[in-house]
Amino acid sequence: MPKPPFPKPKVPGVLKGMGITLRTAKETVFPNGPIPQPSKGAVTVQYPHDADLPADRARGVISLKEDNCTACMLCARECPDWCIYIEGHKTLAPPRREGGKPRKVNALDRFDIDFSLCMYCGICVEVCPFEALFWSPEYEYSELKIADLLHDKSRLGQWFETVPDFEPLESGSEVKVKKVPR
């Protein structure tokens, strides 16, 4: 009967992990040889003394273009955290054509997002059919009081100033038709 092959010694996972940690520590503290240069090898940004600029499309904060919002409530209904609060009322807007009837539209009274609950999933921005919500890369809005993380429509409107311009479309791609109703 053939003998079973001699089993290879197994390196326990914890030793492998320690090896990786030591190698990374060496690359961080001694990036250029035996003289320690932790500031060169370290990848940690010393915030707030230094700040890394986030990518243009980073999900920093949600901004509202109030003129485009019809208070349709779609974003509030789709938000998995229920952290969008909208109130509005019906009002009459001038007719589109001369001699036409005045139109019934929704006027926005309240549009708040509670960023202490938001999980930055982006669903509200995706589902808005009227191009009223946009991501801004701004992220410096921490607060001492958690209640101050509720941003009202005027604050959300201010964030709109920080939304980067859209990149030009690639050649051959289709332009999205805007559905802004007024």
Rule CB under 6 A: say whether 123 interacts with ligand SF4.
yes
Residue closer to ligand SF4, measured from CB, 29 or 72: 72
Per CB under 6 A, 71 contacts ligand SF4: yes
Residue 180 touches ligand SF4, criterion: CB under 6 A: no
Angstrom distance (rounded) from CA 129 to CA 116: 25
Q: Is residue 74 within 8 Å of residue 143, measured between CB atoms?
A: no
Q: Which two tokens stand for residue 173?
A: 């791609």
Return the residues of window 87-116 that contact ligand SF4 according to CB under 6 A. 113
- Residue 129 CB partners (closer than 8 Å, separation 6+): 72, 74, 179
Interface map 141-170 toward ligand SF4 (x if CB under 6 A)? ------------------------------
Query: According to the binding rule CB under 6 A, does residue 128 interact with ligand SF4?
Result: yes
Q: What angle do CA 26, 27, 30 make, to 5 degrees?
A: 70
Name the nearest CA neighbour of 128 among 64, 172, 175, 47.
64
Q: Is 120 in the site for ligand SF4 (CB under 6 A)?
A: yes
To ligand SF4, the closest distance from the beta carbon of 74 in angstroms equals 4
Closest CB to ligand SF4 among residues 84, 159: 84
